Structure 1
Amino acid sequence: MFAAVPCDDLVAAFRKRAGDAGGEYAIFLDALDRACHGFIVAHAERMVLERVKLLERQLDDLLPLLGLAVVGRLKQVIVRYQT
């Protein structure tokens, strides 16, 4: 059974091993984290363009539905005023 400790203390205890300060592991993990951020930034422009395309496609699907709703509502208004 594990003792109740705050999350930060648990992570620090997990990363350290007996007899070592854990510094080289922290440096390695930090370098790995920075490498991933460079990958994300390199592809950010393409990701933004994909999001714009998705939004345009969703609007293209939504506009005909809105058009049908407007036409249906106009028909109800015309019928109401004809009677």
Structure 2
Amino acid sequence: MEPVNELPDRLSQLMTWITDGWRVEEPILQRSMLHCRTGSICAFEVVVRRDDERRVIALMDDHAVQLWLEQANFHVLHI
């Protein structure tokens, strides 16, 4: 895969949370959704936790997200 020079905003936000001490909970959920005339699209739901607080962020499927998931070797559950 080619290197990614610019991260999508939500992936950038997630990386900031991880740098601030948040931990990704596995599995990451991959959801396929229908989107009008364009057919189906895919999004990943990532849950992060720090102490007793949890957050969820949705990442649209694109090259940068795929590369991040591959490099981090997270378990992804397709639902």
Q: TM-score, normalised by structure 2?
A: 0.20
**Does 1 or 2 have the higher relative contact order (CA < 8 Å, sep 6+)?**
2
Higher fraction of strand: 2
When Rg is computed on C-alpha atoms for both structures, the one with the higher figure is 1
